[in-house]
Chains A and B, each alone.
Chain A
Amino acid sequence: MIDNWTFGRKIAAGFALSLVLLMAIGTVAYSSISKLATISQWVTHTHEVLEHIAGVLSALKDAETGQRGYVITGEDSFLEPYHSGSTEAANMVKELRKLTADNPNQQKRIDAAEPIVAAKLAELKQTIDLRRSGNLEEANKIVRGGEGKRSMDDLRRVLSQMDDEERELLKKRAQEGDSAAVGAKSVIIFGTLVCLLCVTAAGVFITRSLSRQIGSSVGQIQSSSTELQAAANQQATATKEQATAMSEISTTISELLATSRQIAESAQRVAHIAGQTAAAARTGDATVATAHDSIATIRRQVDLIVNHMLELGKKSQQIGAVLDIVAELAEQTNILAINATIEAAGASEAGKRFAVVADEIRKLADRVAGSTKEIRGLIDDVRSSVNTTIMTTEGGSKSVDAGARQFSEVAAAFAEIAGLVGTTTEAAREIELSTKQQSTAVEQVNVAITSAAQATKETEASSGQTLQTAVELSSLSHALLRIVQPQAALAGPRVR
Chain B
Amino acid sequence: MTNNDLPTAAVLRRRFDEGFAVAASPKAERLEDLLAIRVGSDPYVLRVSEITGLHVDLKIVPVPSPVAHLLGIVALRGTMAPVYDLASLLSYPPATRPRWMVLARVSQLVGFAFDTFESHVQMPQGAIATSAAQTAPHLLGTVRAEEALRPIVHLASLVEFIKELNP
**Which residues in A have some Cβ–Cβ distance to B below 8 Å?**
331-332, 334-335, 337-339, 341-342, 345-346, 356, 359-360, 362-364, 366-367, 370-371, 374
List B1-34 residues whose CB lies under 8 Å from chain A.
1, 3, 6-7, 12, 15-16, 19-20, 33
B120 touches A367 (CB 8 A): no
B120 with A334: CB separation less than 8 A: yes
User: Which residues of B are found within 8 Å of A337, using beta-carbon distances?
Assistant: 120
A206 CA / B111 CA spacing, docked (Å): 171
Select B53's contact among A332, A342, A360, beta carbons within 8 Å: A342
The contact string, 1 if C-beta is below 8 Å from chain A, for chain B 42-63, is: 0000001101111110000000
| Number of A-B pairs, beta carbon distance below 8 Å | 47
User: Counting chain B CB atoms within 10 Å of each CB, which of A342, A346, A360 scores highest?
Assistant: A342
Known: A341-B48, A360-B19, A374-B3. 16 other contacts (CB 8 A): A331-B56, A335-B54, A335-B55, A338-B54, A338-B120, A341-B120, A346-B52, A346-B105, A356-B20, A359-B19, A360-B16, A364-B16, A366-B120, A367-B7, A367-B12, A374-B6
Complex Cα–Cα for A335 and B52 (A):
12
Chain A residue contacts of B55, Cβ below 8 A: 335
**Chain B residue nearest in CB terms to A365:** B120
A345-B48, A367-B12 known; A339-B54 Cβ under 8 A: yes
Tell me the smallest distance from the CB of A361 to a CB of chain B, in Å: 10
10 nearest A-B residue pairs (beta carbon): A360-B19, A338-B54, A339-B53, A338-B120, A335-B54, A342-B48, A374-B1, A339-B54, A362-B120, A360-B16
Q: Tell me the interface secondary structure of chain A in the complex.
A: helix
Q: Of B35, B53, B120, which is in contact with the most chain A CB atoms at under 10 Å from its CB?
A: B120
Chain B, Cβ-Cβ closest to A377 = B1
Known: A356-B20, A367-B12, A374-B1. A335 touches B56 (CB 8 A): yes
Chain B residue numbers with a CB within 8 Å of A342 are: 48, 51-54
B157 in the interface (beta carbon within 8 A): no
Cα distance, A364 to B20, chains bound together (Å): 14
- Report chain A residues within 8 Å CB of B119: 366
Instruction: Name the distance in Å between A486's Cβ and chain B's nearest Cβ.
Output: 133
Docked Cα-Cα span, A359 to B54, in Å, equals: 15
What is the chain B residue whose CB lies nearest that of A334? B120
**A332 to B55 CA separation, bound complex (whole angstroms):** 9
B residues with a Cβ closer than 8 A to A are: 1, 3, 6-7, 12, 15-16, 19-20, 33, 35, 48-49, 51-56, 105, 119-120
Residues of A within 8 A of B3 (CB): 374
B residues less than 8 Å from A332 (CB atoms) = 56
User: Which residues of A are found within 8 Å of B15, using beta-carbon distances?
Assistant: 363
Bound state CA distance, A489 and B1, in angstroms? Answer: 130
**B33: contacting residue among A331, A345, A370, CB under 8 A:** A345
B58 → chain A, closest Cβ, in Å? 11
| Minimum Cβ distance to chain B for residue A366 (Å) | 7
> In the complex, which residues of chain A have a beta carbon less than 8 angstroms from the beta carbon of B6?
371, 374
Complexed CA–CA distance, A178 and B135 (Å): 201
A225 to chain B, nearest CB (A): 115
Residues of B within 8 A of A334 (CB): 120
Cα–Cα, bound, A371→B8 (Å):
11
Residue of A nearest to B119 (CB): A366
Q: What's the nearest-Cβ distance from chain B to residue A309, in Å?
A: 23
29 A-B residue pairings within 8 Å (CB atoms): A332-B56, A334-B120, A335-B55, A335-B56, A338-B35, A338-B48, A338-B54, A339-B53, A339-B54, A341-B33, A341-B48, A342-B51, A342-B52, A342-B53, A345-B33, A345-B48, A346-B105, A356-B19, A356-B20, A362-B120, A363-B15, A363-B16, A364-B12, A364-B16, A366-B119, A367-B7, A371-B6, A374-B1, A374-B3
In angstroms, Cα B33 to Cα A339, docked, is 12
**Bound Cα distance A362, B7 (Å):** 16
Contact A345 B56 (CB under 8 A): no
**Which residues of B have CB within 8 Å of A341?**
33, 48, 120
Chain B CB within 10 Å, residue with most, of A338, A360, A371, A374: A338
CA distance A208 to B44 in the complex (A): 156
**Chain A residues near B33 (CB-CB < 8 A):** 341, 345
A362 to B119, CA, bound (A): 10
Task: Give B7's nearest chain A residue, CB to CB.
Answer: A367
A339 and B51 CA atoms in complex are apart in Å by: 9
In the complex the two chains form, what is the Cα distance from A362 to B160 in whole Å? 31
Contacts of A364 in B (CB 8 A): 12, 16
CA distance A371 to B11 in the complex (A): 14
CA distance A339 to B7 in the complex (A): 26
Whole-angstrom distance between the alpha carbons of A337 and B53 in the complex? 10
Taking CB atoms, residues of chain A closer than 8 Å to B105 are: 346
A362 to B51 Cα, complex, angstroms = 17
Name which residue of chain B comes closest to A359, CB basis.
B19
